Amino acid sequence: MTKTKVAVLISGAGTNMAALLYAAKLPDCPYKIVLVASNNPEAEGLNIAAAEGVPTYGKSHVGLNRVDHDLIIHDQITQAGATYVALAGYMRILSRDFVEKWDGRMLNIHPSLLPKYKGLNTHQSAINAKECVAGCSVHLVTAELDDGPVLGQIEVTVLPGDTAESLAARVKMAEHQLYPKILAEYVVRETNPEYLILQVRKLALAQPEAHEVLSHGMPCFGIIGGKKFAYVSVDHHGDGKTALLVKISGAEEQGMLIDSDGERYYRPAYFGDGWVGIRLDLGDTDWNHVGDWIAKSWRAVAPKKLAKLMDVAADF
Ligand code: GAR
């Protein structure tokens, strides 16, 4: 199994990072931790990660502006080859640039049942509000603090006489269960054929006069009353791949693409030289790029009149 590479950002104890890291040691865990980085070079969690043989990086933010510090961290993450970021008690507000770069690929854990009690002092706030139930949430990171779609939550009962500390300790135990499970589910969705078909469907049906049919059991997209411009191939003849098939100019382009990245591009059986297969299940699919491929393929088969009409509309 190819494991998805994840970088974890911490600021302190790093117990959530440790939960992610130990879960990653299980043979069927779909992710592995390739870097633990911190804005606090003294963070205790860095020692835990280093002891487990995980590369660590500490760089204080003191004296640096937010954007510059985030850039340094971003470089470390990309150099480590990570395609996902897990924030685990990273107590820094992130720059908009950084959040945008990791859009849809950065998760955070927060010790409350979001949208309740964002920010700090969550446990005391829950106790003050006489909540019977507190808990924790894992969510995708967006530009707003502790916002973004919630991916999973665990409720924790508030006991009579709970203090912020006693509640925090039990919520932490719940956090350690929640984060590894949600991160695993999240990274796996990118190799899940149903998810991949859905992404292609959105992009293909956004093309003018596009419709979907089933062709030889494959979801297939064409121009109404015209030619096909995209197929999704799922485990075709047991090849184990989920891929997008799109039109290309011919054998030369096909050869060039396969030479440039033989893992991603391939010659689709039975389709000939006019098509190329693009693997979607490698866990690092750039969906903007896939969108460009689909648009290009649509253009290759679109009747001249329709393509021209689109050009006129685009110029407008
Ligand atoms: C965790 O409780 C985490 O939910 C919280 O910081 C703690 C870090 O503990 N994060 C936030 O409050 C983010 N808004 P850890 O270092 O032991 O994982």
DSSP 264-279: TEE--TTT-TTEEEEE
> Which residue reads 């039109």 in tokens?
247
Residue with the smallest CA separation from ligand 1 atom 3 is: 89
CATH class of the domain defined by 193-315:
alpha beta
pLDDT of residue 1: 66
pLDDT of residue 22: 98
Is the minimum distance from the CB of 139 to ligand 1 under 6 angstroms?
no
Question: Ligand 1: which atom is nearest the Cα of residue 172?
Answer: 2
Q: In this structure, what token pair is assigned to residue 229? A: 């411009």
Residue ranges of the chain with per-residue pLDDT less than 70: 1
Question: Ligand 1: which atom is nearest the Cα of residue 171?
Answer: 2
40: Cα separation from own chain's centroid: 25
Is the minimum distance from the CB of 109 to ligand 1 under 6 angstroms?
yes
Ligand 1 centroid distance, CA of 67 (Å): 22
Q: Express each pLDDT in 230-247 by its tens digit.
A: 999 999 989 999 999 999
* 265-266 and 210-215 strand pairing: unpaired
Residue with the smallest CA separation from ligand 1 atom 13 is: 110
Pick the CATH number of 4-187 from 1.10.150.110, 3.40.50.170, 3.30.360.10, 3.80.10.10: 3.40.50.170
User: What is the pTM (predicted TM-score) of this model?
Assistant: 0.77
Classify burial at 178, counting beta carbons within 10 Å of its beta carbon; exposed 0-12, middle 13-18, buried 19 or more. Answer: buried
Residue with the smallest CA separation from ligand 1 atom 7 is: 89
Is the minimum distance from the CB of 146 to ligand 1 under 6 angstroms?
yes
Residue with the smallest CA separation from ligand 1 atom 12 is: 110
Q: Express each pLDDT in 149-188 by its tens digit.
A: 999 999 999 999 999 999 999 999 999 999 999 999 999 9
Ligand 1 centroid distance, CA of 89 (Å): 4
Ligand 1 centroid distance, CA of 11 (Å): 9
Q: What single-letter DSSP state applies at residue 30?
A: S
Question: Which residues are identified as catalytic?
Answer: 110
pLDDT of residue 109: 98
Q: In this structure, what token pair is assigned to residue 133? A: 């139930």
Ligand 1 centroid distance, CA of 123 (Å): 12
Domain boundaries, the chain: 4-187, 193-315
pLDDT of residue 144: 87
CB-based contact 58:46 (threshold 8 Å): yes
State which of 42, 175, 182, 183 you would mutate to test the pocket of ligand 1, scoring each by most atoms of that ligand within 8 A of its C-beta: 175
66: Cα separation from own chain's centroid: 23
Question: Ligand 1: which atom is nearest the Cα of residue 11?
Answer: 16
